[in-house]
Amino acid sequence: MIIGDVAEIARANDLQLNTLHRISLELVRERSLQGVLQHIADGARELVEAQYAAIGVPGSDGTLERFVTSGVSAAEAAAIGAPPRGHGLLGAIVRGGRAIRLEDIVSDPRSVGFPAHHPYMKSFLGVPILSQDRGIGHIYLTNKREGAGFGDRDQQLVEMLAAYAAVAIENARYYQRLSQDEAQLEDRNRELAILNEIAHVVGTSLDPEVILEKTLSRVMGLFEAEVGEIFLDEEGTNEFSVVLRKGTQAPAFLGHDHFRLGEDLVGSAAKQKELIFSSSLSSEPRLPRHAAQAGFGTYLCIPLVSKDRVLGVMGLAALRPIELTPRLRDLYRAVGLTMGEAVENGLLHRKSQRLAVLEERERIGMDLHDGIIQSIYAVGLMLEDASLSLHEDPRSAREKMAKSVEGLNGVIRDIRSYILDLQPRRMATENLAAGLRQLVREFRAQTLTEVDLHILNGAAEGLSAASMTSLFHVTQEALANVAKHSEATHVVVNLRRNEEWIELTVNDNGKGFSTEGQRKLLGHGLTNIEERARAAGGEATIHSERGKGTVVRVRIPAVVIPAGPA
Amino acid sequence: MGWAAILPHKQEMRFSPKGLARSGKVVYLNPQLTATRVFLIEEHEKVRQALADRLRTSAGITLVGEAGEAEKALEEVRKSHPDVVLVEIKRGDGMGLEIVREVANLPWSPRVVVLTTYESSWERTAAKRAGACDYLLKQLDSDELMQSIQRLAA
């Protein structure tokens, strides 16, 4: 070799190294797999001075997942059409795991020829892209510019680039898996968040309407539904009626407001206690025609279940086709259970509230009967009697009329004191003494009865809020009883205390009652006083005798709250 | 007694004059004897007094007794043999329906009429089931009440 040749070779090497170096830099900067492969293809072509270069990465189904060319113009690529399928030479490279160099492609027995419009190719260098000794793709170059074919040096360089490509491809695949996982994680997070929101709504509200409203919105968001409906069987009659409808396509998706168990999609979901999902609505027989015509693609029925009983069904309709994976199925099933429980709780709560109202009404009815209607009825009878005996016995008639007037007065008193009792009352002040004074003031005004209030020796001070409330309410009820039943003209209210007890007494000079019948005669007022006293840790006693008035005495333990810093 | 031999009856049964007139076997000429014998059971004192007065002044009705307390009422009813017993079922001792049942089952089967202020279909059904033959609401024009009572015993 002449020195000039060595220098030439050295210069050529330097050039190649520089090119390689430049390529490496570009690769590092490039983020997308496509970009990396393109750089490698272009770089390889430049490095070994080939006319054409290409990189192919087969996918799991055998076809090329990626195919990148260099040196082929867009027009030529379009003319060729599909990328090579890797049967002949290319397949041999990948399977063999070794490079192939040829001076003339066509003459090699492994070649399968070229498709139409393919540019003429003679010399060939193909190098496998290896990852952990596994062939994951190939780089091939054709038509070395100068000379008959590609040399050892060319092969070395391309193998180096192939190594880069391997790393890039594996990285890209890893990243893709990560992205998928991340996407899955995001999905799961979103679903968990929605389940969480539903649980929150369920936990903070007892009103079935509120629960249904909020959860339907969220589930519609999850399913990406345009329409959502909820049907409930509130009476337990196996008839499901619509209670809520949401969505942009407002007219009832299913076209009906009621379903029986087993009828159509909703009824079927209820009967089977299982999700019903349909993504081919046009051929779904249980769906009215207009639903499919409206362009809906998917429908999901979720039965709302509690303790193995189906309380209702939620129906969701979406325009676009949706896939219901097993995981999503589980999710929606969970939603159905949660909502079922929530609705049942809500309905029970509503029932118990209604019962409470009914009980109250019953009590009011009884109270009204006990006093007022009877009194009016008696007066009516007396007047009738009076008018009948007017001619025969005018004195008796006059007596009866006087009695009637008296009776009516009594009725007016009854009604007034009844109103007094019904007024919802809360101690308006923080101060028991002021509260008692107010009660007494109002009692005096309403009943025109004399009332004295004695609070001894700071008995009303330093009490716990609970004690104050108890004493206030006991006084209120005792006074209400006096107003309703006693016909008293004088009432004394005493509040006193010692180290152990705080004692409240309400003493009236009314007509009293026999203690045998005491519970029945005083209706609820009495038991309430006893209950309150007991709840406060104390006791209540009531002494009464016919014609001798009544004393209500309540004692509760003295729990003193020490006064704060002055 | 004469007609006890004519008419078949169970050993314990004693017909009231009205009952006999009803049977058509005996005809009375004295109108007093055909008046409806009524017993009143009402716990509210004022109402009981007023009703009693009203019943007393009503032609065709003889008030044979009135009581508020349950035991006393049943005792007096057994003694006085009314045709019709007026019962207010709303009571402090809660024995309204019990009283209806007891009275309706008495040997001579007096007619029990519930007269009450409280309209409730549940109570109405319960009363009928306990043996009441009518359920009337207390209203201010009592002429109708008096007529119903008389018609019942007819």
pLDDT at A282: 65
B15-34 residues touching A, CB cutoff 8 A: none
- Specify whether the CB–CB gap between B112 and B132 falls below 8 A: yes
What is d(CA B145, CA A255) in angstroms, rounded to the nearest whole number? 56
Chain centroid, CA A100 distance in Å? 63
Residues of chain B contacting A527 with CB distance shorter than 8 Å? none
> With DSSP H G I counted as helix, E B as strand and the rest as coil, what are the percentages for chain A, rounded to 5?
50, 20, 25
The two three-digit tokens of residue B47, written as one number: 């109402």
* B49 in A contact zone (CB under 8 Å): yes
CA angle A228, A229, A232 (to 5 degrees): 150
Confidence of residue B62 (pLDDT cuts 50, 70, 90): very high
pLDDT at B5: 41
Q: Do A382 and B93 touch (CB under 8 A)?
A: no
Residues of chain A contacting B54 with CB distance shorter than 8 Å? 381, 384-385
Residues 6+ apart with CB under 8 A from A355: none
Please identify which residue in the block is written with the tokens 């054709």. A142
Please identify which residue in the block is written with the tokens 């009738």. A384
Q: Do A382 and B118 touch (CB under 8 A)?
A: no
From the list A369, A381, A517, which residue is nearest B51 (CB)? A381
pLDDT at A89: 76
Confidence of residue B17 (pLDDT cuts 50, 70, 90): low
Please identify which residue in the block is written with the tokens 């017909």. B15
Residues of chain B contacting A365 with CB distance shorter than 8 Å? 118
What burial class does residue A333 get, using C-beta atoms within 10 Å of its C-beta: 0-12 exposed, 13-18 middle, 19+ buried? middle
Does B17 map to a domain?
Answer: no
Q: Which residues in chain A come in under a pLDDT of 50? A: 1, 424, 518-526, 564, 566
Residues of chain A contacting B44 with CB distance shorter than 8 Å? 374, 378
A→B contacts (Cβ < 8 Å), by residue, are 365-366, 369-370, 373-382, 384-385, 388-389, 400, 407, 517, 520-521
pLDDT at residue B3 is higher than 50: no
Helix H or strand E encompassing A479: helix A465-481
From the list B54, B90, B117, which residue is nearest A385 (CB)? B54
Does B39 map to a domain?
Answer: yes
Q: Which domain holds residue B141?
A: 35-151
The two three-digit tokens of residue A243, written as one number: 């209670």
From the list B90, B118, B142, which residue is nearest A384 (CB)? B142
Residues of chain A contacting B47 with CB distance shorter than 8 Å? 374, 377-378, 381
Please identify which residue in the block is written with the tokens 């089952």. B105
pLDDT at residue B114 is higher than 90: yes
The alpha carbon of residue B110 is apart from the nearest alpha carbon of chain A, in Å, by 25
Helix H or strand E encompassing A480: helix A465-481
Torsion of CA A551, A552, A558, A562, to 10 degrees: -100
The two three-digit tokens of residue A283, written as one number: 């051929």
Please identify which residue in the block is written with the tokens 């959502």. A228
In three state form, how does the secondary structure of chain B look? Answer: CHHHHHCCCCCCCCCCHHHHHHHCCCCCCCHHHHCEEEEEECCCHHHHHHHHHHHHCCCCEEEEEEECCHHHHHHHHHHHCCCEEEECCCCCCCCHHHHHHHHHCCCCCCEEEEEECCCCHHHHHHHHHHCCCEEEECCCCCHHHHHHHHHHHC
- Specify whether the CB–CB gap between A377 and B90 falls below 8 A: no
> So what CATH class is A203-343?
alpha beta
CB pairs under 8 A between A and B: 55
* B59 in A contact zone (CB under 8 Å): no
B62-91 residues touching A, CB cutoff 8 A: 90
The alpha carbon of residue A371 is apart from the nearest alpha carbon of chain B, in Å, by 9
Does B79 map to a domain?
Answer: yes
pLDDT at residue B15 is higher than 60: no
What is d(CA A461, CA A447) in angstroms, rounded to the nearest whole number? 29
pLDDT at A253: 62
The mean of the pLDDT values for chain B is: 80
Domain A425-557: homologous superfamily in CATH: Histidine kinase-like ATPase, C-terminal domain (3.30.565.10)
Residues 6+ apart with CB under 8 A from A498: A558
The alpha carbon of residue A223 is apart from the nearest alpha carbon of chain B, in Å, by 49
The alpha carbon of residue B143 is apart from the nearest alpha carbon of chain A, in Å, by 10
What is d(CA A68, CA A140) in angstroms, rounded to the nearest whole number? 11
pLDDT at A566: 41
- Specify whether the CB–CB gap between A270 and A314 falls below 8 A: no
Residues of chain A contacting B118 with CB distance shorter than 8 Å? 365-366, 369
CA distances from A128 to A154, A155, B67 (A): 14, 11, 117
Question: What pTM does this model have?
Answer: 0.37
Residues of chain A contacting B57 with CB distance shorter than 8 Å? 385, 388-389
Type of residue found at B114: V
Type of residue found at A116: A
A67 phi and psi angles, rounded to 5 deg:
-145, 120
Q: Testing the interface with A: which of B122, B139, B140, B143 to mutate, by most A Cβ within 10 A?
A: B140
pLDDT at B48: 94
* B119 in A contact zone (CB under 8 Å): no
The two three-digit tokens of residue A482, written as one number: 């006096």
pLDDT at B14: 45
Contacts 24+ apart (CB under 8 A), A322-331: A322/A223, A322/A224, A322/A279, A322/A297, A322/A298, A323/A279, A324/A277, A324/A279, A324/A300, A328/A191, A329/A275, A329/A277, A331/A191, A331/A195, A331/A222
A491-526 per-residue burial string, b: 16 or more CB within 10 A, e: under 16: bebbbebeeeebbbbbbbbbbbbeeeeeeebbbebb
- Specify whether the CB–CB gap between A135 and A129 falls below 8 A: yes
What is d(CA A38, CA B91) in angstroms, rounded to the nearest whole number? 100
Does B109 map to a domain?
Answer: yes
What ranges do the domains of chain A cover? 22-177, 203-343, 425-557
What is d(CA A541, CA A551) in angstroms, rounded to the nearest whole number? 8
Closest CA to A89 of A56, A59, A120: A56
Q: Which of A72-86, B17-31, B122-136 has the highest mean pLDDT?
A: B122-136
From the list A377, A407, A521, which residue is nearest B92 (CB)? A521
The one-character DSSP state at A511 is -
What burial class does residue A178 get, using C-beta atoms within 10 Å of its C-beta: 0-12 exposed, 13-18 middle, 19+ buried? exposed
Residues 6+ apart with CB under 8 A from A116: none
pLDDT at A287: 64
- Specify whether the CB–CB gap between A480 and A425 falls below 8 A: no
Residues of chain B contacting A407 with CB distance shorter than 8 Å? 46
- Specify whether the CB–CB gap between A510 and A451 falls below 8 A: no
Does residue B74 or residue A443 have the better pLDDT? Answer: B74
Pick A22-177's CATH classification: 3.30.70.3340, 3.30.420.40, 3.30.450.40, 1.10.238.10: 3.30.450.40
pLDDT at B11: 36
Could you give the number of structural domains in chain B? 1
Q: Do B57 and A388 touch (CB under 8 A)?
A: yes
Rg (CA), chain A: 47
From the list A369, A379, A382, which residue is nearest B118 (CB)? A369
Q: Do A377 and B92 touch (CB under 8 A)?
A: no
What is d(CA A78, CA A93) in angstroms, rounded to the nearest whole number? 25
In three state form, how does the secondary structure of A287-327 look? Answer: CCHHHHHCCCCEEEEEEEEECCEEEEEEEEEECCCCCCCHH
Q: Do B51 and A389 touch (CB under 8 A)?
A: no
Answer whether A22-177 and A425-557 agree in fold.
no
Residue B91 belongs to a domain with what CATH number?
A: 3.40.50.2300
Residues of chain B contacting A385 with CB distance shorter than 8 Å? 50, 53-54, 57
Type of residue found at B5: A
What is d(CA A255, CA A266) in angstroms, rounded to the nearest whole number? 12
